[in-house]
Structure 1
Amino acid sequence: MDTATNQKHDSQPYYVAVNDEEKIFTAAFNQGLSILLKGPTGCGKTRFVEAMAHKLRRPLVTVSCHDDLTTADLVGRFLLNGGKTEWVDGPLTKAVREGAICYLDEVVEARKDTTVVLHPLADYRRQLPLERLGITLDAAPGFCLVVSYNPGYQSVLKDLKDSTRQRMVAIEFDFPAPEVEERILAVEAGISAADAAKLVRFAQAIRRLENAGLREVASTRVLIAAGLLMREGLSAAVAAKTAIAGPLSDDAQVTKGLIKMIEVYLND
C-alpha cells in the first residue's frame, strides 16, 4: 500500500478559516519554517493543508504515517529494475527536490528513528542527508515540511520529541464554531441548513460528554459522512447510527448511550 499521495488541485479545496491559521501558515511558508498542526481527528487539518497548497501554488505530497513506516519509505531505497539496481526517491525526497509541500499526517505514529531524519530538514539548514547515496540535498525553493498529530489521542509513549517540536511553529486546531460547522456541512454534504444544524447540535452534545468511554468525539468528518447518507434519502437517525455512533465505539453500552442521544436529538 502506498504511503504517499501527490496532489494537484484544479479548483480551490473548500475550507473555512476559523482563526488566523491561513496567515500563520503563509508567513511560516514564506520564511522557510516547518509547521506543526495540532488538533483532534477529523477537525479539518488535512483539508487545510490541501487548501493552502492550492493557495500557495505548490504541489502537495501527503504521507500517512504508521508504525511500519521506515526511513527508507520516506527517503528512498535501491530497487532492482531490469536486472540493475537503481535508486528510487521516497516521497520526502521528491518533495525536497521539487519544492513541494510535504505533509506527514499523524507523524507520531511513525517510528522514532524515522522522524529523526526530519531534524536537519525542519530547521534553518533545510537539508536532507541521503546517507545511502553519500549526498545531502538542499531543499528546493517552495519546499515546506508540515506535520500533524492529535495530542489528546496519542499516548505518552507516542509523542513528539522536544527536539522535533522546537524546530517547528505550531498551529492549534479545534472543531469549528457551530455556525461555521453548519455551513461546512451544508456545502460538503449538500444538505439543508436545518439538517446541518441538527447534526451539529448532536455532535455538540457528544463533545460535552465526560467519561463517556469514547476515545474520540464526533468529528466534522463523520458529520459530513452522515450528511451524505441523508442526501441519499436516509433519515437523520439512521445516518447518525451508521456514520457516527458505529465508527465511534464498539462497546455495547457506549453505543447504546449514543443511540439514546440520537433518539433525543435526531428522531423526526
Structure 2
Amino acid sequence: MHEQVRDYQVTQEPYYRAVGDEVDLYEAAYAVRMPMMLKGPTGCGKTRFVEYMAWKLGKPLITVACNEDMTASDLVGRYLLDANGTRWQDGPLTLAARHGAICYLDEVVEARQDTVVVIHPLTDNRRVLPLEKKGELVEAHEDFQLVISYNPGYQSLMKDLKQSTKQRFGALDFAYPEADVEKEIVSHETGVSADVAGKLVGVAERARNLKGHGLDEGISTRMLVHAGSLIARDVAPLAACRMALVRPLTDDPDMRDALDAAVTTFF
C-alpha cells in the first residue's frame, strides 16, 4: 500500500449489523470495480456500512463530506504556493484514484453540478481523471472504487443527481432497520439494556410516522445512539430524549409537545 493512503486504512472492525444481502452485493460490485450509490435517510448507517466494507476488503477509505461550496479543485487538487514556488497537491479524489483507495463522497447532491461532473470519467470504462490545471491524465489504480451517498427523500427538484450521473452507478437502498435489529444496534453501541433500547426504538417509530405530517425527517438510528449514550451515563431518560431526539428534530412547539408525549409514553 502506498504511504500516502496508509493513514486512511480502517484498522479496527467497525460495528455493522447487516440487514439483508448488502454485504455480499457490495463485495460483488467491488470485485468488478462498479461505482456504487448508497441511498437512504440520514443517520441510517450508510457511512458505517462503507467503513465496514473498506475494513472487510482491506482497502483505505477516503471520505469527503460534500457541500455547496465545494469546487472541483477541492476534489481533484490545486497548485499551492510555498517557499520554493508552486507545487501541486492532489485532492482526495485524485489521491484515491492514484493510489487505490475507496473514495466516498457523502451527500453528493449537496455539491454543485459542475463539481459532480468531474467524477464522470472515473465512473465509466475509461477510469481516468483529467487534471486539466496540471495537464495530467490520472489512470485509476486497479483497487480504486468510487462510492457516493445521498438521501432521496430530502432532495428537492433543484437538488437531485442528473440521470447522466445516476446511471453510472450500481445502487443499494438503505432504510432504518426493523425494530428488533435497531434495538440490537442501539444496545450494542451504547451499552443500555435491551429494554431501554426497545423504548428508544418505540419513540423513533412514533416520530417516523410523523414524517411528512409536520416533520421533514424522522428520528435516525444515529440519534437513538446519542440518546442511549446519555442514558448509559445516568442522564434521566426523559431529559436524554428531549436533548438528543426531540430538540434537534424540530422547533415547532406543537410538534415538540407531540414528541415529548411519545417519550413520556415509553419512559
Are positions 1:78 and 2:79 aligned together? yes
> 1:208 offset after TM fit, Å?
1.8
Residue of structure 2 in register with 1:3 after alignment: none
> 1:209 offset after TM fit, Å?
2.4
TM-score by length of 1: 0.95
Aligned partner of residue 32 in structure 1, secondary structure: coil
Matches within 5 A, 1:1-268: 7-209=8-210, 211-266=212-267
Distance change (3 Å), C-alpha of 1:185 and 1:8: same
> 1:166 offset after TM fit, Å?
0.5
Residue of structure 1 in register with 2:4 after alignment: none
Structure 1 ranges of 4+ moved more than 2 A: 6-10, 209-212
* Structure 2 unaligned spans of 5+: 1-6
Task: Assess if the C-alpha contact under 8 Å between 2:94 and 2:129 holds in 1.
Answer: yes
Between the aligned partners of 2:127 and 2:177, the Cα distance in structure 1 is 33
Q: Identity rate of aligned residues, in percent?
A: 51
Aligned partner of residue 124 in structure 1, secondary structure: coil
> 1:53 offset after TM fit, Å?
0.2
- Return the letter of the residue paired with 1:200: V
- Return the letter of the residue paired with 1:175: Y
Deviations 1:228-265 (A, max 9, x none): 00011012211110000011112222112211211112
Task: Assess if the C-alpha contact under 8 Å between 1:65 and 1:110 holds in 2.
Answer: yes
Between the aligned partners of 1:79 and 1:23, the Cα distance in structure 2 is 42
> 1:8 offset after TM fit, Å?
2.4
Aligned partner of residue 41 in structure 1, secondary structure: coil
Between the aligned partners of 2:30 and 2:9, the Cα distance in structure 1 is 18
TM-score by length of 2: 0.95
Deviations 1:11-34 (A, max 9, x none): 210000111111111111110110
* Structure 1 unaligned spans of 5+: 1-5
Task: Assess if the C-alpha contact under 8 Å between 2:37 and 2:169 holds in 1.
Answer: yes
> 1:211 offset after TM fit, Å?
4.0
Deviates more, 1:25-34 or 1:38-47: 25-34
Aligned length in residues: 261
State the Cα RMSD in Å: 1.0
